[in-house]
Chain A
Amino acid sequence: MFLSLNWIKEYVNIPEDVTLEQLSHDLTMATVEVEDIIEQAQQYKNMVVGRIVEIKKHPDADKLQLAMTDIGGGEVKQIVCGGINLFEGMKVAVALPGSFVRWHGEGDLIELKKTKIRGEESFGMICASAEIGLGDLYPEQDDREIMNISHIDADAGTSLAQALGLNDALIEIDNKSLTNRPDLWCHYGIARELAAIYNTKLNQPKLRKLDNKKGNDFKINISSDDCLRYIGVVVENIEVKPSPEWIRKRLSYAGIRSINNIVDLTNYVMLDIGEPMHAFDFDKIDTSIVVRSANLNEELNLLGGDNVKLQTSHLVIADSKKPIALAGIKGGEYSGVLDSTNSVVFEAAIFDPISIRRTATQLEQRTDASMRHEKGIDTDRALVAMERLLFLLQELQPDIKIKSVVDVNPRPTKQNKVVLTRDFIVSRLGQELSIKSIVDILERLEFTVKVKADELTVEVPTWRSTGDVSIPEDIVEEVARIYGYDNLERFSPVVTLEEAVYQPEFERVRELRNFLAFQAGLHEVYNYPWVQDRIVTNLDLSMNEMVEIAHPPSEQQKFLQTSLVTNLIETVEKNIKHNDEFGIFEVARVFQKNKTSHFSVDGEKLPYQPKRLAGAVVGDNDEEVYEKAKGICELLFDKFHIPLVSVISNDLPKWLDARKSQGFIHDKELYGFVGFLSGNASKSFGFNKKSVCFFEIYLTEVQGLISFSENKYKPLPQFPGVTRDIAIEVPLSVKWKDISELVSDSSDLLVSVDLFDVYKGKHISEGRKSVAFRLEFMSEQRTLESDEIDVIVSEIIKKLENNFEAVLRK
């Protein structure tokens, strides 16, 4: 919203030492956010009135001319111009080099420089009104025209701002910061606020007082609870014509285009007092106005040309036959005020804010009027607005005749009353404040306060009583913001001393992440919770176990992931283009429909949403990436005392290749897995023939398994151990698990069996592989003899030969 500073100053005397910057700061701190203040003197700097002395053809462009322009001080400059309405002797707005214009009225402001256009020098630019922000005030018939200011009484060289009387400052306020303040959507409201902030006098708007009732040939009938007040005034002897310039100018600052003096006046009062008004041509409607719900499918042609089809929840203004306006939003075309209009019904009405908001949203008709109504205007404002309009109208047209006045006020706004104590305020502010200064602040805001000992009874003015101020905390806010948040004393809170916080589950997740990033060398990624349909399809995921979004981010992303792997697939696809070998991981929640979350309270049945930890390791060789991924998991289990072991499992997700994957289990329960996607699934993704091994650990469930008692020290060996390396050749189908189990069982002295190499290819027969491992023998009672170990080893080799067709490699 843009406000005119001059307009505000009609209502409030801002102290002279308050600069624009200070004003902007004070209003921002106490009330609403000022986004910008535009001083017109700055905006129109380096722009002057020019007079065209001579027009020549541009030698190199058909549509351009060379305007020899007097820019004052005896200087005549050549300016290239494409305006189709140029004539010699015309007065124009010249933007000299160094000024800022908006090219064709669009885009960002651009600084003009002395330049050549198609080879001809141009000293600045002759402007169209839209190019210098005056499009609403001086509209052109054709967008190829330039602004004609020949009627302005000013010599060439006069500054444009001075010639056009542009001596205002426009204050831009962030509308979002006004949503709870219906009273501030107008100049008078902001002025009232400034008067409170600066503790200075507020001037009342000049009104033409109305007799409560006058005339009986005009009736108003309200048949809906959504209309809280309706004032209709019939005025005769009206002459419809263009508005005076000062009104047009002020409307243009708010971005409202001038229509005619009557329509303009209703808009002017809206910007002035904050109450949207409307004018109907009295001769187009019969003698009564009905405020009612629309009939189903009733149609209405709105001003501006839209046709809307109505529902019964929509509120309309109608005469006895048909709707003539969408209540509080927009007037109908049929009853609009035209040049020929003689008599007008002025409407100042208050409607239910929710009804207005819903209708405006449904019909896509959000207007300046609806925006104000939906914030909740108090019913008293309708009368002030009407009296203000009639005052202004009479100033412009002293001959008007007020024929009828009807005011129906079925649901007047009641003043809220709040009772609270000084202590209540002081304890929240953290600041001693006397009753006197509290009362002073509240009275500046036009609250009425009654004091009884330490207790204040505060009566809230009607314009703050429509939802804004109703509880003691609201009063605290009023006092604090006017006193100034900056002026409050600062001190640290005094809090109760409590036990030190101990939350191992958070610490652990933090350490897990550090481990994966800095020890395992994986990069942490953050993915969306939803998964692409193509992944759901390719993995053949069961959709009825998946949580679905009603209006999803895209039609192909309706489901939330049940495994983090689903989105890691996509992350792998993206990174494979730039990296040969890499690893990634993510810690996030997954969502499962068929189980209820422990977070559910108060009758909720939230879907199960446990945390998972998952990763992917990418490289050129299946064995390598598998060993790396599994190694990461196993080291993680060791370091974090997670009692999981990897085994062949039948419970793995179906989309894994069961022959190339293992589950992590404890007590027969599955807590995660490591392995590859099944062949078909894998082929459908853009893995570029790379080996991609995934792992996933069910973090929420695993947290319950971790116990600190596992972290016990083992005494160091007292006697030296003996090691033997063995390399055997076995058929490819022999699994390490079987070899290691067989070997482990062979002697009590054997303390470890560690695989260190698997090799296929050169020097190894077809269909066979070489498996090399290290045995370590140790005794707690004595130093072992080499001979006794040799015996054990040859027994082991014999067993391997018998069981696995093993051949010892030398």
Chain B
Amino acid sequence: MKDELKKLQNELEDAIKAVTSLDTLREIEVAFFGRKGKLTNLLKNLKDLPDSVRKEVGALGNTIKHDAQVLLNDIKVKLETGLDDELVDVFDPTVPGKKPLIGSLHPHTQMINSLNEAFLSLGFEIYDGPEISSEAFVFDNLNFPDDHPAREDMDTYWLAGSESKKASDRMCLRPHLTGGSIRYMKENQPPFRFVYPGRVFRSEATDAKHEKTFYQYEALMIDKHMPFSAGQLMIETILERVFGYKVETRMRAGFFPFVEPGFEIDMRLKENITGTEKGKKLTQWMEIMPGGPPHPNVLRAAGLDPEKWQGFYINIGLDRLVMMKHAIDDVRLFHSGDIRFLDQF
């Protein structure tokens, strides 16, 4: 009987090798292991064997059955899933994925969004003022004396028909955002914490570093007690968002009519950032924004008592931040409307 079993095993192995489809596989299963299958029939005779060999032959029969079933099962899985070796060769997993067609947000929008988010988490509001303003809110309220050269230096775009009238009638495309914050303060009750993103306009010759239309991001806090270091908190909030790590900053003496004392705020990036700006290595201190407590005359213009209220203001050039973040070398690209540029962000 042992010989018969061995013979059956060979027969079974040959049959398994010849399997090409699930149908033939099923036929083999029925032919050998079915109720009337060859192996089943043979094993029925076990009970007639003497005790001495029954155990051994029984074990052999079970091994044959088990091994064959494992083999058949493997083949079955392959046939069912189609993962046959030959079939695997036909499928090409190296083709690129098909990305969904989407548009893009302007890099400035992305920058403003992430700055807004950071400031909102600090409890700041967002303000959005008019782009055409009167001279009163662009210069007068900001402590620019009548003859201050900055009134001319700003190269403001005045509107036609607003020559030599009173300040509230002389209108221009705003050359900076700062005056708008006085509008906000006039309409709201202190304390204040708000940011003010927006575009500004100056009559400058355009080149890779200069634009006639550019973007600023302003932040202002006014409270009963607001020491200088509050300013540094705002600054570091911005820069950490932009660069993804804590950027070293410093405040040093600077002069702007609307703040007193005035600060120039510098930053220094980590060593591993390469590239240059104005021929200076980026790891050197770089001037990035003016800031300081609003001048008492500015607080007065906003209807606040400078004896009671203190504040800190910063105004950052957004174009420059975006340029640094993405290593963009020409500011004019921002207004190019060129999808080949915009699609990269």
Contact = CB atoms under 8 A, between A and B. Distances in A.
A574 interface: yes
A791 interface: no
A394 interface: no
A529 to B, nearest CB: 7
Contacts of A179: 149, 255
A480 B228 contact: yes
Given A503-B125, A599-B183, A495 B106 contact: no
A737 interface: no
A748 interface: no
Interface residues of A, number: 91
B123 A606 contact: no
B337 A518 contact: no
B261 A473 contact: yes
A488 interface: yes
Contacts of A431: 227
Nearest to A424: B307
A431 B263 CA distance: 18
Contacts of B58: none
Contact of B227 (A354, A429, A579, A609): A429
A607 B132 contact: yes
B302 to A, nearest CB: 12
B225 A550 contact: no
Interface in B253-307: 253-255, 260-264, 287, 293, 295-296
A521 B103 contact: yes
A491 B225 CA distance: 12
B242 interface: no
A501 B149 contact: no
A606 B171 CA distance: 7
Interface string A602-614: 1111110100000
A604 B225 contact: no
Contact of A574 (B147, B171, B338): B338
Nearest to B262: A477
Given A31-B253, A548-B160, A506 B261 contact: no
Majority secondary structure, B binding face: mixed
A496 interface: yes
Given A477-B260, A548-B159, A517 B102 contact: yes
B133 interface: yes
A382 B131 CA distance: 46
Nearest to B287: A33
Interface residues of B, number: 83
A32 B227 contact: no
B223 A521 contact: no
Nearest to A486: B250
Nearest to B124: A501
Nearest to B252: A29
A617 B133 CA distance: 34
Contacts of B158: 549-551
A575 interface: yes
B129 A599 contact: yes
Given A29-B252, A498-B123, A552-B157, A589 B131 contact: yes
B337 A571 contact: yes
Contacts of B227: 427-431, 488, 491, 493
A500 B251 CA distance: 30
A87 interface: no
Given A477-B261, A517-B105, A525-B106, A485 B228 contact: yes
A523 interface: yes
Contacts of B123: 495, 498, 500-501
Contacts, number: 232
B261 A480 contact: yes
Interface stretch (A120-128, A276-284, A508-516, A650-658): A508-516
A585 B343 CA distance: 13
Interface string A562-596: 00000000110011001100111100010100000
A100 to B, nearest CB: 14
B287 to A, nearest CB: 8
Interface stretch (B15-23, B45-53, B229-237): B229-237
A575 B201 CA distance: 25
A494 interface: yes
A131 to B, nearest CB: 21
A494 B225 contact: yes
Contacts of B232: 490
A708 B253 CA distance: 50
A410 to B, nearest CB: 21
A328 B118 CA distance: 52
Question: Which of A429, A510, A526, A583 counts the most B-chain CB atoms under 10 A from its CB?
Answer: A526
Given A524-B105, A605-B169, A492 B233 contact: yes
Contacts of A527: 335, 337
B113 interface: yes
Interface string B111-149: 001001000100111101111111011000000000101
Contact of A597 (B103, B116, B130, B160): B130
A493 B106 contact: no
Contacts of B136: 602, 604
B25 to A, nearest CB: 42
A517 B345 CA distance: 11
B131 A529 contact: yes
Nearest to B135: A604
A520 interface: yes
A548 B161 CA distance: 8
A287 B132 CA distance: 57
A473 B256 CA distance: 13
B342 interface: yes
A528 interface: yes
Contacts of B130: 597, 599, 606, 609
B221 interface: yes
A571 B106 CA distance: 14
A488 B228 contact: yes
Interface in A597-641: 597, 599, 601-607, 609
Q: List the 8 closest A-B pairs by CB distance, nearest first.
A: A430-B227, A477-B261, A571-B337, A493-B230, A599-B130, A548-B160, A473-B260, A525-B337
Interface of B: 101-106, 108-109, 113, 116, 120, 123-126, 128-134, 136-137, 147, 149, 152, 157-163, 168-169, 171, 173, 183, 186, 191, 193, 199, 201, 203, 212-213, 221, 223-230, 232-233, 250-255, 260-264, 287, 293, 295-296, 310, 334-340, 342-343
6 contacts: A30-B253, A427-B225, A493-B225, A528-B212, A551-B203, A574-B336
Given A485-B263, A525-B337, 7 more contacts: A33-B252, A177-B264, A477-B262, A521-B102, A548-B161, A575-B339, A602-B134
